[in-house]
Amino acid sequence: MPIHSEIIPALKTRPGMDVTWEWYDKKGGVVKWIVENKSSITLSGILVRGVLQNKSIHETYPFGNAFFPVYYHDFSEIFNKTPSPLKNTGVKSNAPNLGIFSFKKERFAAFLFTLSAGENYEMLEGGFIDNTEPAAEKMVLADYIKTTSFEISYKEEQCKGYDKQTNTNYKCPENPFKVTSSLWELSSEVKPLFADKIVFSGESCKNIFENAIVAGNNNEMLRALMCMYENQ
């Protein structure tokens, strides 16, 4: 399994999930993340972290957001569909699913961490070279909303940037591409590194509205208005 690498003050949330890190291969720039659910219930969230260099913290954003098109297309990392706990297969092979996250109207993709009560989950991340290390790491909790289809338009840099950083030549998915994914509401605002365009896929809001008028269906009119609001 390729080591994730996307080095390009996190926000406090209600207690429950903690995260720490330690060097796994300092010479190679690889750290080990340890995510822990200290609560008595299953919790979900995202890992937000920055990079410390020359006593300054740079680019604090959700883990997985930068290069998720590569992870999805080339690393066989799927978008999560059900809010079920991660399977812990060992630090070298652990890789969480991707999810779609929202706060107010903004949506972005990132790694989703769902842990059972008292569970620990470890995974690797590379790219911490040139006297850099993780900083300002926090877990931001998220609540499951629904599972539905999305159309994602991403920036070319999210593929080419990974290749440049890792000296590889992975293929990119179609742009835009469609996926079915779980949607999550964050407990606090988090700014992604890339604010990609992520809209609900399928029947257009306009078609729903026009069909609702013809049928005189108030429920469908309301659904069309909600569709327009969510996709604006």
Interval 78-113: pLDDT, tens: 999 999 999 999 999 999 999 999 998 789 999 999
Q: What is the pLDDT of residue 206?
A: 73
CA distance linking residue 65 with residue 70, whole number of Å? 11
Q: Sorting pLDDT into bands at 50, 70 and 90, what band is 55?
A: very high
Return the H-helix or E-strand segment holding 195. Answer: none
Nearest to 203 by CA among 183, 181, 228: 228
Q: What is the pLDDT of residue 175?
A: 94
Q: What is the pLDDT of residue 208?
A: 72
Q: How far apart are the first and last CA of the chain?
A: 37
Q: Sorting pLDDT into bands at 50, 70 and 90, what band is 203?
A: low
Q: What is the pLDDT of residue 126?
A: 93
Q: What is the pLDDT of residues 18-33, one digit of tens each?
A: 999 999 999 999 999 9
Beta bridge partners of 123: 33
Nearest to 107 by CA among 47, 174, 189: 189
Beta bridge partners of 126: 5
Percent of the chain scoring above 90 in pLDDT: 70
Q: What is the pLDDT of residue 8?
A: 47
Mean pLDDT of 50-77: 94
Nearest to 5 by CA among 174, 158, 178, 142: 158
Ramachandran assignment for 174, one of left (phi > 0), alpha (psi -120 to 50 degrees), beta (any other): beta
Q: Sorting pLDDT into bands at 50, 70 and 90, what band is 9?
A: very low
Q: What is the pLDDT of residue 217?
A: 77
Model pTM greater than 0.75?
yes
pLDDT at 60 over 50: yes
Nearest to 50 by CA among 96, 2, 6, 92: 6
CA distance linking residue 148 with residue 158, whole number of Å? 23
User: What is the helix, strand, coil percentage profile of the chain, to 5?
Assistant: 20, 40, 40
Q: Are 155 and 194 contacting, i.e. CB atoms less than 8 angstroms apart?
A: yes
Residue 144 or 15, more confident: 144
